[in-house]
Amino acid sequence: MQKLKPLVTPIGGDERFQRLLAGIPATAGMKSGYVTLKPQESIGEHVTDAKEEAIIILEGTAEVYIEGKLFCAVQAKSLVYIPPETGHDIKNIGNGTLRYVYVTMPLVL
């Protein structure tokens, strides 16, 4: 494996999705993105396969669905952990914009 280098990626804007870390070769497998959702918009249910995921709510209020069922509602300055192989969705339930960063990392046992 080549030596990894530190990097900085500016975060911002109003686009729905911004890639922050794209995985190999820039990282050892970590990926991340910045997501912006309008009121009542959701990212759509998905599974991150054999990856752990951390979702950091920066602004707004979200509902988190796990395997199609409401798990919790969270506000800014919250972190939600999603285990590997878990179907999940994030929905903006506030009146303003929901902004969050997600980070995924391949499962290493």
Rounded distance, CA 4 to CA 48, Å? 24
Residues 54-95 have pLDDT tens digits of 999 999 999 999 999 999 999 999 999 999 999 999 999 999
Banded pLDDT at 109 (limits 50, 70, 90): low
Single out the residue of 56, 66, 36, 49 nearest to residue 105, CA to CA: 49
The answer to whether 64 and 53 have CB atoms below 8 angstroms apart is: no
pTM over 0.75: yes
Question: Which tokens hold the place of 30?
Answer: 């970590």
Single out the residue of 51, 57, 60, 54 nearest to residue 84, CA to CA: 51
Q: Which amino acid is at 60?
A: G
- Read off the pLDDT of each residue in 4-16 and give the average, rounded to a whole number: 90
> Class assignment of domain 17-106?
mainly beta
